Amino acid sequence: MKSIKTKLKVNNYQKTILAKHAGVSRHAYNWGLTTSIKEYQLTKKRPSAITLHKRLVDEVKSENPWYYEVSKCAPQQALRDLDRAFKNFLTVPKHGFPNFKKKGKKDSFYLEGSIKILKGNYIQLPRIGVVKTYEILPSVPVKNVRISKRAGEWYISFKYDDDAQANPSRKKRELIGVDVGINTLATCSDGTKFANVKAYKQAKKRLTRYQRRVNKKEPGSFNRAKAIKKLAKTHKKVADIRADALHKLTTWLAKNHSTIVIEDLNVSGMLKNHKLASAIADCGFYEFKRQLIYKCEWYGSELIIADRFYPSSQICSNCGHQQKMPLHERTYNCADCGFTADRDFNAAVNLENYVWE
């Protein structure tokens, strides 16, 4: 079994219905905890999850009509979670007594039933409808999911059987080398370039401006609150554009190539050199690599990470000669054979050739 956790792209309606589910889940959990404590004080016995659920339906649901707006799985699982928390408290050393859940802290709930993955990055959920995800999901049957909120964003997670995976895609090309760079997001050894998204650059500029505005406003003032809101909105926009660009790149690579060769970048070092002024630098080379690793698994392709000391930008991809290549040199001019190529493209071809080294 494998598991995946990924961010949801939700609209306002969906935000409300997700929050309602988390609210019911929390309410049921806390009600169950209070009821269990009272019951134990009276009878020295803790009610089972099933008993609690029967009482919840009889006593709580009718009094709180908002329970009917959400899937019945949410409160049901909350009581099972409570049962687990009690069992852990009793059997696992150092496990504390179950805590009451607080709103906005680890909000989550559980769903099961008719769940279906549609077109890769849409998932159909009972009571909630079709929700979009940022990442492509594996086309597998899903029995149940957990949805949780962290730092204002909703995430979905589930387990799936890896053998149920869809067939690997047909590949357009055997081998490709990828250079991630300054001016372009990525340059590939087949000549394909993924440009840095223009909208991304613009949004980044706005980010700096809005940050400056926040700093200038008086602390605690209405105008400052307004500026902060604007800044947060832009931050989100930057993150969204970046995520989109990266996902497009990694999906294209994994889907259409049997073997993909990338550099092993020491990102903190690169950032100091301002080498990676791109979306990859901003969200970390780690994220680029992480996406490639799991997408290669989905599409049945292989990822090769070149040795950290492989001088992909210094080698002539035509004759193998090696020369120093300072960062400002944007063109590779071979001192030996006279071959000329774009610096990033030359590096990408060398990465492709790496598998034969």
Minimum Å distance from CB 346 to Zn ion?
A: 10
Residue that has been written with the tokens 């609209």 in this structure: 11
Dihedral in degrees, nearest 10, Cα atoms 334, 340, 342, 347: -40
Residues 77-136 that bind Zn ion (CB under 5 A): none
| 179 part of the active site | yes
Catalytic residue of the set 83, 107, 342, 344: 344
Give CA–CA dist 322/224, Å, rounded: 55
Q: Quick one: which of 68, 62, 66, 100 has its CA closest to 81?
A: 100
Catalytic residue of the set 81, 107, 263, 352: 263
Spatial CB neighbours of 126, under 8 Å, sequence gap ≥ 6: 71, 73, 111, 112, 113, 114, 115
- Is the CB of 148 or the CB of 318 nearer to Zn ion? 318
| 344 part of the active site | yes
Q: Does 315 bind Zn ion (CB under 5 A)?
A: no
235: helix, strand or coil: helix
Work out which of 183, 318, 323, 353 binds Zn ion, going by CB under 5 A.
318
Q: Are the C-beta atoms of residues 40 and 90 closer than 8 Å to each other?
A: no
Read off the DSSP letter of residue 88. H
Contacting range for Zn ion; rule: CB under 5 A; set: 20-28, 65-73, 88-96, 312-320 = 312-320
Residues 154-213 that bind Zn ion (CB under 5 A): none
| Pattern 325-344, Zn ion, x by CB under 5 A | ---------x-xx-x-----
- Is the CB of 175 or the CB of 334 nearer to Zn ion? 334
Minimum Å distance from CB 225 to Zn ion?
A: 60
Does an H or E element contain 142, and which? none
Give CA–CA dist 169/50, Å, rounded: 46
Minimum Å distance from CB 341 to Zn ion?
A: 10
| Residues classed as catalytic | 179, 263, 344
- The binding site for Zn ion (CB under 5 A) comprises 316, 318-319, 321, 334, 336-337, 339
